[in-house]
A and B are shown apart, each in its own frame.
Chain A
Amino acid sequence: MKRLINQLLALAVALATTTTFTGCGKQSGTTQADRTANALASYVAPGEKDEYYLFYSGGHSGQVFVAGIPSMRHIITIPVFAPYPATGYGFDEESKKMMGAFTWGDVHHPGLSQTKSKYDGRWLFVNDNANNRIARIDLRDFKTHQILGPIPNSMGNHGSSFITENSEYILCATRFSVPLPKGRVADPKDYEKEFNGMVSGIKVDPQTGEMSVGWQILTPPFDWDLGSTGKGPSSGWAFWSSYNTEMAHDVMEVNSSQKDRDLCAVVNWRAAEKAVADGKATMMDGVPIIDPAKVPGVLYFIPIGKSPHGMDVDPTGKWIVAGGKLQPSTTVVNFEKLQAAINAKTFEGEMRGVPIVKYDAVVEGEVPVGLGPLHTQYDGKGFAYTSMFIDSNITKWKMPPWTDEEKKDLNKVVLDKMPTHFSTGHLVVAGSDTAQPYGKWCVAMNKLSAGRHINVGPSQPESSQLIDISGEKMKMVAEAYTEPEPHFAQILKVSEIEPKEILAKADNKDPNAVWDKEATGVTRNGNKVLAKLTAIRSRFTPDRIDAQVGDELTVSVTNIEQTRDMIHGFGVLEQNVNLVMDPGETKTFHLKMTKAGVFPFYCTNFCSALHQEMQGYLVVWNAGDAPPAAGSGAPGGIAQK
């Protein structure tokens, strides 16, 4: 108890310090030589290219941001869960259908697909904490191709997207618990009894990347936080931290922070897969559910202090580091000891039929890294880098094996601290979650920018800082700002992928795609009007569409360019229509015509010297008007079908 009070005091002091930090402006102590060296290290001259992609999660913007390293320049935004007029995402029928009933999501943890525990450059998976979904971005075109969900029996898809070593599964765990199946109502006062959490295995088709819900493991209503998947010796396993082992349901800030240690999950996902194949699961809402009390060997708990946040497996797969969040240390678990303890049943109790592994039997040590440790990343050279939310720095420390002398005083393995501005949440070291990290660069994603940037009023961006970790001491090299709000990122070497820059004509399978003038036109079938247009510098063909009030209009526009960056848009005035077609792409919208009038349309994405002239008219006649003659507005007049 005394220890807890001390910790809380320390925390209070730290919080106070953090707020005063926000008051100071400039960072002093950099010499002109440092500035020159840093500038050169992050400078990418005009015409030159970055060496790495940085895929940031966009948080509640519902998007993914792509920046380059070392320049830290934002290059493109990939819309996923939210409409993005700039690329027409969320306006055409296909992306609207993919987004479903939701117009936002909360993207937290991007995960690159892996083969043999290395990035294979195929897909980027991102989770939606808000609406329990998961999405797949294809790295061949940097576009969202699938959104799965809401995942059944699952609330708050925070603890994902963690990719298994050959992308067999994306593993997810719930941040929130609710009465299951979803739709069932119970009083939150009966939280312990009625509410449950879930670990989900989202199956990934090895060829297409198509995701489907594979199986789920029922858990007590802890709030699962973050996890990672095993590799090497820990192959086939996955790990999640948790808070609220107290199973509180109100005043969570206090009530879920009572215990010194929370139970973290150790999941044998291969055993789960096998249990389902062996018919040991029961169905709930269409998903096979494993009750870990009835299927031993699938789930174990380890107590870890305190309300831990990150639970990160190192590149060797032997060590798992939990960020203490509310205790000033990271806890290092030795997977080999963990496996031995499980085999020897070295348990200190059980929770709802799930064994709790004995803490002392599996923990290698608690490293006194500082206040508010959240996430740990690795450079593959035996060093760990932990983000300190409260201390506001990144702490570099040495991974085990430790000497006896070091074990006696683990302060000795803490090697370096790099102040960050301010309150780093996640950090990413290039390739940290693979068996062979690139190392070299670390990006700190800070939760508060607090006046570091030019004053932009009360809505403030987040700050990201690029740190060179190639030397003994960390070096802060560059700083950038993003919109809210990156939670985690992945770094991929540019040379590992070669995205296509156009959609080849042969690959456009859209049934409404047209490539020749002769195939374009407007056809009527009852009150259904179908217009097929081509777009090319600098005209739409046809450039006139006739319809009547009451018509159901479908317009498909094919950008018949096959030249990179020749993008055309199709905006219709006062109709909330905004298509953007990449070269070779066809996009479609449906519109119920409710008001008469003449509505100009135009190319929105600047394409050519005569871009401004790239325009036409949607003529909506009154229902009583004589319909325009067949073939009018050549060649876009209405041909009677």
Chain B
Amino acid sequence: MFQKVAGLLRREFRFLHKPLNLGSRLFLLAAAITIAVSLFYPLWKLHLVAPQYSDGLDLYISSYKIEGGGFNGQHLVEINNLNHYIGMKPIQEADFLEMRWMPFVFGLIILMTLRSIVFGEMSNVVDLFAVYVYFGAFSIGSFWYRLYQYGHDLNPHAPMHIKPFTPLLIGVKQIANFREYSFPQTGAYLLCGSVVLIVLAGLWSRKEKAA
């Protein structure tokens, strides 16, 4: 029994110490570049359509900013204008503390990716993958919590009372006269791509001999 467990651990230990081949390192390089590029694109978009807004109002969310669609980001002003009737807090970038540290974390992940290339060991890829997935899940969770907060923390003195709600994270939902479309954007797709590249980097060297 002990022998068996020790054998598994050894195998695992050997796996973590496998060297990364050139292919894996290229995948990691591609992943680092993809993450860096993704920062320049919005991660998420909320698209709100009502009879009076047939072209829709857009809200673009990036890791470090929130931006309205339309001329000079006017859509954000408009969304806040409308939300004040139901007592929702104005959505403003300054309130999103995570937007200050998120780019920093992305930088850290890029550094970890580059570190994996240089150190060239499977364990680096595993670390990277674990931290990255944890961070991703945490971000999505925090985004959902934001949506929940905005929809539930309504001023009781607002002119219109509506039942507290949580805007949908992904999908289509009717909220009063608005139809909300919430979907990931280029930035999020690129990040997903970078996760795939990291997984590929691991798989690519799975048959290498441990040093």
Partner-B contacts on A (CB < 8 A): 502, 504-505, 536-538, 561-563, 608-610, 613
Asked if B85 contacts A609 (CB within 8 A), the reply is yes
18 A–B contacts from the bound complex (CB under 8 Å): A502-B71, A504-B71, A504-B72, A505-B72, A537-B81, A562-B71, A562-B72, A562-B74, A562-B77, A563-B74, A563-B77, A563-B78, A563-B81, A609-B85, A609-B160, A610-B85, A610-B159, A613-B159
- What chain B residues lie within 8 Å of A562 (beta carbons)? 71-72, 74, 77
Question: Complex: how many Å from CA A562 to CA B57?
Answer: 13
Central interface residue in B78, B81, B85, by most chain A CB within 10 Å: B81
Please tell me if the beta carbons of B159 and A536 are within 8 angstroms of each other in the complex. no
4 more A-B residue pairs beyond the given contacts A505-B72, A562-B71, A609-B85, with a C-beta to C-beta distance below 8 A:
A504-B71, A537-B81, A538-B85, A561-B81
B82 to chain A, nearest CB (A): 8
What residues of B have a CB within 8 angstroms of the CB of A609 in the complex? 85, 160
Write the nearest CB–CB distance from A512 to chain B, whole angstroms: 22
Q: How far is the CB of B139 from chain A (nearest CB, A)?
A: 31
Give the complex CA separation of A610 and B74 in angstroms: 21
What CA separation (Å) do A502 and B160 show in the bound complex?
28
Closest Cβ–Cβ distance, residue A47 to chain B (whole Å): 9
Q: Is the beta-carbon distance between A536 and B71 smaller than 8 angstroms? A: no
Assembled-state Cα–Cα distance A208/B159 (Å): 46
Nearest-Cβ distance from residue B182 to partner chain A, whole angstroms: 22
CB of B85 within 8 A of CB of A536, answer no
Residues of B within 8 A of A504 (CB): 71-72
**Smallest beta-carbon distance A223→chain B, Å:** 51
Query: Main secondary structure on chain B at its contact with chain A?
Result: helix
In the complex, the 10 A-B pairs of residues with the closest C-beta atoms, listed nearest first:
A562-B74, A563-B78, A610-B159, A537-B81, A562-B77, A563-B74, A536-B81, A610-B85, A609-B85, A562-B72
Residues of A close to B160: CB separation below 8 A: 609
- Tell me the residues in window 48-81 of chain B with beta carbons closer than 8 Å to chain A beta carbons: 71-72, 74, 77-78, 81
Nearest CB to that of B57 among chain A residues? A563
Decide if the interface of chain A is mainly helix, strand, loop or mixed: loop
Closest chain B residue to A563, Cβ basis: B78
Closest to A583 in B: B74
Question: Which residues of B lie under 8 Å from residue A610 when comparing CB positions?
Answer: 85, 159
Q: How many residues of B contact A (CB 8 A)?
A: 9
> Which residue of chain A has the shortest Cβ distance to B160 in the bound complex?
A609
CA distance A609 to B159 in the complex (A): 10
Cα of A562 to Cα of B160 in the assembled complex, Å: 23
Chain A residues contacting B74 (CB-CB under 8 Å) are 562-563
In the assembled complex, the Cα of A104 lies from the Cα of B78 at a distance in Å of: 39
List of A residues within 8 angstroms of B81 by Cβ = 536-537, 561, 563
Bound-state Cα–Cα, A610 to B71, Å:
26
**In whole angstroms, what is the CA distance A613 to B159 when docked?**
10
Give, as a whole number of angstroms, the nearest-CB distance from A122 to chain B. 22
By beta carbon, the residue of chain A nearest B75 is A563
In the complex, what residues of B have CB within 8 A of residue A536's CB? 81
In the bound complex, residues from chain A placing their C-beta under 8 Å from that of B159 are 610, 613
Bound CA–CA A382/B144 (angstroms) = 69
- Report B-chain residues with C-beta under 8 Å of the C-beta of A538: 85
- Report the minimal beta-carbon distance from B84 to chain A, rounded to whole angstroms: 8
Closest-by-CB residue of B relative to A501 is B71
A538 to B159 alpha-carbon distance, docked (Å):
10
* Complex Cα gap A563–B74 (Å): 7
- Measured CB to CB, the closest approach of chain A to B67, in angstroms, equals 15
Bound-state CA distance A563–B77 (Å) is 9
B83 CB to nearest A CB, Å: 11
* CA distance in complex: A608, B77 (Å): 16
Inter-chain CA distance A536–B85, complex, in Å, is 12
B39 to chain A, nearest CB (A): 29
B31 smallest CB distance to A (angstroms): 41
CA distance A294 to B23 in the complex (A): 95
Query: Smallest distance from the beta carbon of A562 to chain B beta carbons, Å?
Result: 5
| B185–chain A nearest beta-carbon distance, Å | 24
B residues 69-110 with Cβ under 8 Å of A? 71-72, 74, 77-78, 81, 85
For B71, what are the chain A residues with a Cβ–Cβ distance below 8 Å?
A: 502, 504, 562
In the complex formed, the residue of B with least CB distance to A608 is B85
Docked Cα-Cα span, A609 to B85, in Å, equals: 9
How near does chain B come to A538, taking the closest CB pair, in angstroms?
8
For residue B56, give the distance in angstroms from its CB to the closest CB of chain A. Answer: 13
Looking across the interface, which residue of chain A has its beta carbon closest to that of B53? A563
Which residue on B lies nearest to A536, using beta carbons?
Answer: B81
User: A608 to B85, alpha carbons, bound, how many Å?
Assistant: 10
- In the bound assembly, the distance between CA atoms of A502 and B74 in angstroms comes to 11
Q: Which residue of B lies closest to A610 (CB)?
A: B159
Residue of A nearest to B54 (CB): A47
**Closest B residue to A609 using CB positions:** B85
Across-interface contacts of B72 in A (CB, < 8 A): 504-505, 562
Chain B 135-172, CB-CB to A under 8 Å as 1, else 0, gives 00000000000000000000000011000000000000
A613 to B85, CA, bound (A): 12
Shortest CB distance B159–A (Å): 6
A155 to B193, CA, bound (A): 77
Measured in the bound complex, the distance between the Cα atoms of B160 and A608 in whole Å is 13
Residue of B nearest to A562 (CB): B74
Q: How far apart are the CA atoms of A505 and B73 in the complex, in Å?
A: 13
A608 vs chain B, min Cβ distance (A): 8
Interchain nearest-CB distance for B71 vs A (Å): 7
CA of A537 to CA of B81, assembled, Å: 7
For A505, the chain B residues whose CB sits under 8 A away are: 72
Residues of B within 8 A of A608 (CB): 85
Report Cα–Cα, A629/B62, bound state, in Å. 48
How far is the CB of A285 from the nearest CB of chain B, in Å?
47
Which of chain A's residues have a CB closer than 8 A to the CB of B77? 562-563
Smallest distance from the beta carbon of A149 to chain B beta carbons, Å?
A: 37
Bound form: Cα–Cα A536–B84 in Å: 11
- Measured CA separation A561–B72 after assembly (Å): 13
CB distance from B207 to the nearest CB of A (A): 60
Report A504 CB to chain B, min CB distance, Å.
7
Cα–Cα distance between A610 and B82 once the two chains are bound (Å): 11
Residue of A nearest to B52 (CB): A565
B55 CB to closest chain A CB, in angstroms? 10
Residue with the greatest number of chain A CB neighbours at <10 A, chosen from B74, B85, B160: B74
B62 CB, nearest partner CB in chain A, Å: 22
In the complex, what residues of B have CB within 8 A of residue A502's CB? Answer: 71
B176 to chain A, nearest CB (A): 11
Q: How far is the CA of A537 from the CA of B86 in the complex (A)?
A: 13
What CA separation (Å) do A69 and B160 show in the bound complex? 42
A536, B159: Cα distance in complex, Å: 15
CA distance A505 to B78 in the complex (A): 15
Write out the residue numbers on chain B whose beta carbons fall within 8 Å of the beta carbon of A563: 74, 77-78, 81
Within the complex, the shortest CB–CB distance from B201 to chain A, in Å, comes to 48
Chain B residues 4 to 24 lying within 8 A of chain A, measured CB to CB, are none
Complexed CA–CA distance, A467 and B72 (Å): 44
Residue of A nearest to B73 (CB): A562
Can you name the residue of chain A whose Cβ is closest to the Cβ of B82? A537
In the bound complex, how far is the Cα of B78 from the Cα of A562, in angstroms? 8
Q: How far is the CB of B210 from chain A (nearest CB, A)?
A: 63
Q: Which residues of A contact B85 (CB under 8 A)?
A: 538, 608-610
CB A322 to nearest CB in B, in angstroms, measures 50
